[in-house]
Amino acid sequence: MTPRQRFLAAANLQPVDRPPIWLMRQAGRYLPEYRELKAQHDFVTMVRTPELAAEVTLQPLRRFPLDAAIIFSDILVIPEALGQGYHFRDQGGIGMDYLLDTKAKIEALDATKIAEKLKYVADALTLTRSKLGEDTALLGFCGSPWTLACYMVEGGSAKDFIKIKQLAWDQPELFEQLMQKLTDGIVEYLHMQIDAGADALQIFDSWGAICPATHYEAWSLRWIHHIINELKGRVPVILYAKGMGHKAADLMHTGAKIISLDWTMNLRRMRQSIGHGAAVQGNLDPVTLTTTPEITQREAQRVLDEAGKQPGFIFNLGHGMIPSAKIECVEALMEVVTGRKNA
């Protein structure tokens, strides 16, 4: 099987010769070649420059026998396209260029011409596909409306994201207006990514776990369901909702074909409960890759054993790669999953 065939077969619950593997944030700061490029260009410039975004996307594929590339970008390109730019704070974390704190500011967000505004992402995908060839899967992604709204209303990274909950409770009509604009923008954006060559898409509901349980459906999942429904099954959709694996049945109701689990979930039990309703992706703890090759191989084998032989499993991390991950640990991981030593 080619890597692309392997990935798509697993996504569609079909038998494979071995589990496909890709890693969230596989392109990034743990790679010396990325750090070298980052010393010359800031993050946002790299995202907006198709040649640089394609180069970063391909860097891990040159080192490791990964089955899929995921385009180098950021979830916050959608708020930027709506009119609320973003940057990275000197002390760390994300900052939005202004606070989305009034009705007038929310009403001013413009969800039209998203594909035109984010053409640089489509160009990066097209360029990556031309360099990648046809044998490796290429993934696109976005943030969920809820997760994007958390950053937009809070003004950036935060510990508790209090303001988005206050908005949802205190001004439900204004909250709905914001979520509808985000949803409309994301639908257009994802269709654009598919048109540009994406074989599958991942939706990151990274802050789903801050929703009160009784509001998770109304505040987050129904918008994700609408997005997936509007994609008309063109490509498989992966849903990653950090901290929400216990809601797997609800996650599946969105129409996602693959449920990506964090490291807190027991993979064997989750596969039994999900059954043939969806493929499963996950869920090695990213911290494993900061330890030793021996520990990495042991933990990777444990994940494989828990996943079992049932079709529909994609090996991944339980969250994004962290900057202190070691190259030799990633190599050891790849050897366990693919059976190939790094060249």
User: Binding site for substrate: what residues are annotated?
Assistant: 25-29, 74, 151, 206, 319
Contacts of 104 (CB under 8 A, 6+ apart): none
Helix, strand, coil in percent for the chain, rounding step 5:
50, 10, 35
Helix 145-154 and helix 162-170: axis angle, to 10°? 100
For residues 201 and 238, the answer to whether their CB atoms sit within 8 Å is yes
Residue given tokens 């991942």 in the structure block = 202
Cite the annotated binding site by residue number: 25-29, 74, 151, 206, 319
Spatial contact of 47 and 72, defined as CB atoms under 8 Å apart: yes
DSSP annotation of 255 reads T
Q: Is the peptide bond before 283 cis (omega within 30 degrees of 0)?
A: yes
* Alpha-carbon gap, residue 323 to 315, rounded angstroms: 20
- 280-297 in b/e form (b: 16+ CB < 10 A) is bbbbbbbebbbbebeebb
**Token pair recorded at residue 82:** 């709506």
* Radius of gyration for the chain, computed over Cα atoms and rounded to the nearest angstrom: 19
Task: Determine phi and psi for 68, rounding to 5 degrees.
Answer: -145, 145
d(CA 223, CA 146): 8
Cα distance between residue 333 and residue 289, in whole Å: 8
